Structure 1
Amino acid sequence: MRPYVICHMISSLDGGLHLSRWTASPDGKLGDWTALYQSCHEKLAGDAWMVGRVTMAEMSKGEPHPPREHGKVDRPSHFANRQAGNYAIAVDTSGKLHFARNEIDGDHIVVLLGSDVPDSHLAELVADGISYIVSAQAQPDMHAMLDTLERELGIKRLLLEGGAGINGSLLAEGLVDEISLLIAPALDGRAASQSFVEFGTEGLAGKIQLALKSCETLDQGVIHLRYAVTSL
């Protein structure tokens, strides 16, 4: 049984992800909107939050430092901390992320990896006190990995927080139960600007449907929309 997954994001009116590229508003500033997003994150009360490799790289701040020597490493999983209050989960198919610590703002790090990741990288994660799950496939089997997160770490409620690619992939696979979207009073407007959900050239038409759960006006000109997601 997998966790209940909420895709929790903030975007401009035209779906833009990068706050630094948004237009200004007299209703609020970037810092105000970020604070509202974090406040909603807390209210959604997840046991864990999950992001893709690019998003996690902005927080991990590490350089490669594999051990000079290492013994046999555990596959398919290693759990350095089963009692954490919250977990920070990164999807890193090829093992490109490196970490300066084993937590982010107190949340224990768990890395989800593809089967081709080398043992030297797993040994680095073990030495850093970081948990990991290795998929049986080169591309992580997210169905199986979410099941493992629930079974092994007791994660019941997970917040999926970008980027666009991982959001789109999990939506397409029927692994998202709800969307929580904050819309700020701003525009991006650039051609080919990345939206908060992307799924290749085919998109998500015919794969899911949304039903409005609530619409709330917050401070600083922000609207909070929540949708139930159903797979087709």
Structure 2
Amino acid sequence: MTMSLNGKIVGKYHQAKNAGDAGELFYHAAFEPGGAFDPNEGWLSGRKTTDDNFTFYKQPDLDKTAARVPDGDFIVPNTHPKYYFSIDPHGRLGWESNQLHYNDTTATVVEVLTNQASNAYKAFLRQKQISYVIAGDKILDAPLAISKLTKAFNLHRIMLGGGGVLNWSFIKQGLCDEVSIVLIPGVDGDSQTPALFQPLPTDDPDKLVNFTLKSATPVGDTVWLRYSISNS
């Protein structure tokens, strides 16, 4: 993740002086050959992060009279070496293609749904040739999602990239082994934007996660921090 100096992951601080250097460092580490997380077979984000960056809040073109689709997951053979996994429990994202482009990276889209997603939405994904897995009944079963994705797509490494609620959810369930943060040298005055980890009101306020510093690398005015995670 990129992050402001006061722990925010969204905001105008991205316009700070030398923020571009931080962005380049993040992209190289996460996506480019020879970066710290190469090979990275895919990255995973939540619905809002996906809408903010890729689907732009477009409504899916649903056929509510679509024939009932088969139960279970729907897996399409991959056409690119990288995947984008979107956590979309209710099936709301308006994809126009089964591929997306992020800078020089092309990725194949995969949806992670729950049983709350409608038949019409699953039919929509099938028509777009977008793979999906079902993980959970009313809420996301994150361990099941990771297990299904790992097996279906022969994955060895997945990068989690927000939002804050999803980051915290995966951290507290012991599903992450490292946190990588590129600090952007700026802060804005918006007090409502999400933090790197965003607990829900229902979360245990006494829940503590411990981190051990692996490295702190200064690059110009930014710092790249890497932590290992211990849930004990």
User: Per the shorter chain, which TM-score range?
Assistant: 0.7 to 0.9
* Cα distance change of structure 1 residues 136 and 192 upon mapping to structure 2, 3 Å threshold: closer
Q: Gapped runs of 5+ residues in structure 2?
A: none
Whole-Å Cα distance in 2 between the matches of residues 217 and 21 of structure 1?
19
Correspondence for 2:182: 182
What are the within-5 Å matches in structure 2 for residues 56-67 of structure 1? Answer: 56-58=50-52, 59-61=54-56, 62-67=58-63
| Residue in structure 2 matched with residue 218 of structure 1 by the alignment | 219
Question: Per the alignment, do residues 139 and 10 of structure 1 end up closer, same or farther by CA in structure 2, a change over 3 Å counting?
Answer: same
User: Contact 1:77/1:133 (CA < 8 Å) preserved in 2?
Assistant: yes
Deviations 1:46-67 (A, max 9, x none): 1110000001012024432124
The alpha-carbon deviation at position 17 of structure 1 amounts to: 1.4
Kindly provide the amino acid, as one letter, of the partner of residue 199 in structure 2: F
- 2:24 is the counterpart of 1:35: yes
Q: Of the candidates 75, 100, 117, which is equivalent to residue 104 of structure 1?
A: 100
Question: 1:49 aligns to what?
Answer: 43
Select between 66-75 and 185-194 the one with higher mean Cα deviation. Answer: 66-75
Which amino acid counterpart does residue 217 of structure 1 have in structure 2?
P
- SS of 2:175 mapped into structure 1: coil
Native 8 Å contact 1:87 1:109 kept in 2: yes
SS at match of 1:80: coil
Query: Secondary structure, in 3 states, of the residue corresponding to 1:84?
Result: coil
Provide, for residues 96-117 of structure 1, a one-character-per-residue CA deviation record: whole Å limited to 9, x for no partner.
1110111112211011111121
State how far apart, in whole Å, the 1-side matches of 2:155 and 2:136 are.
21
Amino acid at match of 2:125: L
- Name the count of aligned residue pairs: 220
- Give ranges in structure 1 of 5+ residues lacking alignment: 1-8
1:50, 1:91 within 8 Å by CA — same for their partners in 2?
Answer: yes
Q: Counterparts in 2 of 1:1-232, with a 5 A limit?
A: 9-21=1-13, 24-25=16-17, 28=18, 30-42=19-31, 43=35, 44-45=37-38, 46-58=40-52, 59-61=54-56, 62-67=58-63, 69-82=65-78, 84-105=80-101, 106-201=106-201, 202=203, 206-219=207-220, 221-232=221-232
Percent identical residues: 22
Q: Which digits, 9 at most, give the CA deviation of each residue in 1:102-157, with x for residues without a partner?
A: 11122110111111211110000010111101124111211011011111111110
Out of 93-102 and 187-196, give the one that drifted further.
187-196
What's the Cα RMSD here?
2.0
